[in-house]
Amino acid sequence: MGGYILKRLAYAVPVIIGLSIIVFGIMAAIPGSTALAILGSFATPENVERVNRELGLDLPIWQQYFVWVGNILQGDFGHSYILRRPVLDEILERFSATLILAGASLILCSIFGILAGVVSAVRQFGWTDRIVTFFVLIGISTPAFWLGLLFILIFAVQLRVLPASGMYAVYGGGDLPDLLRHLILPAVTLAIVATGVIARLTRAAMLEVLRQDYVRTARAKGLDERKVIYRHAFKAALVSIIPVIGIQAGFVMGGAVYIETVFQWPGIGAMLVNAISTRDIILVQGGVLLVATTYVLINLLTDVAQALLDPRLKT
């Protein structure tokens, strides 16, 4: 197992290098952006040239890349001239908020998605299956940002049971129950689409597995149907469900962009949207690189989890 993990880690390295090249390349495609951002209305051609020289932006592009990567490896993601603070400080602070939100959503959608998918497959064509299928369809067709607004209207404005925005209450609060109260609406909203996707694929995976010969063997042994479904079929289906959850982790982290904006959750998604509006390119660069790298690592984890479950993959 250790060898397998090392091998997968080694495979992730070129992917992360590739990501860094894309992120750097995209941002470098904006001419003079950094200097413009720093100088604002003082951006005369002479000033731009001076700033470029000071920041090493007049070097050949590949040298700039290596300087940039070298700095990042030393923990220096640059300086946001709009927020007037180091990029790393800002993105780490924001990222922890996003991790809480995305993590909670991922747990929700995994539990409910798998549950709904399994029940739906086991009771195929029954009324449970129809209801699940119906909700899945609604779930994957609903704009999450709109659903968030609806939830705010219902639960915060009409029923007044949950807070409409933010991560902690402005006065008082700050403890875990306060965080959880603020977390419920955005986490549920963010989980809805992913729940639908996971439920759909779980149902398909279960139906596929339930026809396999080894499930018939389990029945021929005289096992009761619960064991046949949950021990034999479900474990085999889980092998194909796990990568789906990995992909959904990416969708959830991306979807956080909308949800954080709707609920004013102080995460990295809302930060990116603001940074794009203010043309704070260095901040966008750091944020995108951090989230993308996290996603690569999550995919790595899914692969390992899959190999733990299926001994045939451990080669």
Partner 1 sequence: MTQALATTSTSVSTARLSSWSLLLNNRLATAGLIILTVIGAIALLAPWLPIPNPNTTLPANRLQPILSDGHLLGTDHLGRDILSRLIWGSRVSIAVGVSATLIAALVGSLIGLVSGYARGTTDNVLMRGIDMIMAFPYILLALAIVAVLGPGLLNALYAIAIVNIPFFARNVRGITVGLASREFVDAARLSGKTHAAILFTEVLPNVLPVIVITMSTTVGWMILETAGLSFLGLGAQPPQADLGSMLGEGRRLLFTAPHVSIIPGLMIFALVMSINLLGDGVRDVLDPRLRAGDLTRPLSVTRVKRKTAPAPVEASDAILDVRGLETSFQRGRATVPAVKGVSFALRKGECMGLIGESGSGKSVTALSLLGLVASPPGVITDGTVAIEGEDVFSRSETGIRALRGAKVAYVFQDPLTTLHPLYRVGEQIAEAITAHQRIGKGEARARAIALMEQVGIRDAKDRVDAYPHEMSGGQRQRIGIAMALANDPDIIIADEPTTALDVTVQAKILDLLQNLRKERGMALLLITHDFGVVAQVCDRVAVMKDGEIVEAGETAELLRAPQHPYTQKLIACVPELGQGKAFLETVRPLFAEGKP
User: Quick one: 182 or 200, whose CB is closer to partner 1?
Assistant: 200
In whole angstroms, the minimum distance from the beta carbon of 162 to partner 1 comes to: 15
In whole angstroms, the minimum distance from the beta carbon of 78 to partner 1 comes to: 15
Query: Could you write out the DSSP letters of every residue in the chain?
Result: -HHHHHHHHHHHHHHHHHHHHHHHHHHHTSTTHHHHHHHGGG--HHHHHHHHHHTTTTS-HHHHHHHHHHHHHTT---EETTTTEEHHHHHHHHHHHHHHHHHHHHHHHHHHHHHHHHHHHHTTTSHHHHHHHHHHHHHHHS-HHHHHHHHIIIIIIIS--S-SS-SS-SSS--SHHHHHHHHHHHHHHHHHHHHHHHHHHHHHHHHHHHTSHHHHHHHHTT--HHHIIIIIIHHHHHHHHHHHHHHHHHHHHHHHHHHHHHHT--SHHHHHHHHHHTT-HHHHHHHHHHHHHHHHHHHHHHHHHHHHH-GGG--
User: Quick one: 181 or 219, whose CB is closer to partner 1?
Assistant: 219
User: Quick one: 301 or 309, whose CB is closer to partner 1?
Assistant: 309
User: Quick one: 46 or 213, whose CB is closer to partner 1?
Assistant: 213
* Binding test (CB under 8 A) with partner 1, winner from 36, 67, 83, 296: 296
* Binding test (CB under 8 A) with partner 1, winner from 141, 159, 160, 176: 141
Is-contact 188 151, C-beta < 8 A? yes
Ranges within 52-111 binding partner 1 (CB under 8 A)? none
Stretch that binds partner 1, among 52-60, 85-93, 108-116, 207-215 (CB under 8 A): 207-215
d(CA 270, CA 173): 22
User: Quick one: 29 or 73, whose CB is closer to partner 1?
Assistant: 29
In whole angstroms, the minimum distance from the beta carbon of 119 to partner 1 comes to: 12
Ranges within 166-195 binding partner 1 (CB under 8 A)? none
Ranges within 15-54 binding partner 1 (CB under 8 A)? 15, 18-19, 22-23, 26-27, 29-30
Stretch that binds partner 1, among 85-93, 169-177, 179-187, 244-252 (CB under 8 A): 244-252
Ranges within 208-227 binding partner 1 (CB under 8 A)? 208, 210-225, 227
Ranges within 248-267 binding partner 1 (CB under 8 A)? 249-251, 253-255, 257-258, 261-262
In whole angstroms, the minimum distance from the beta carbon of 121 to partner 1 comes to: 6
Q: Does 235 bind partner 1 (CB under 8 A)?
A: yes
d(CA 56, CA 68): 10
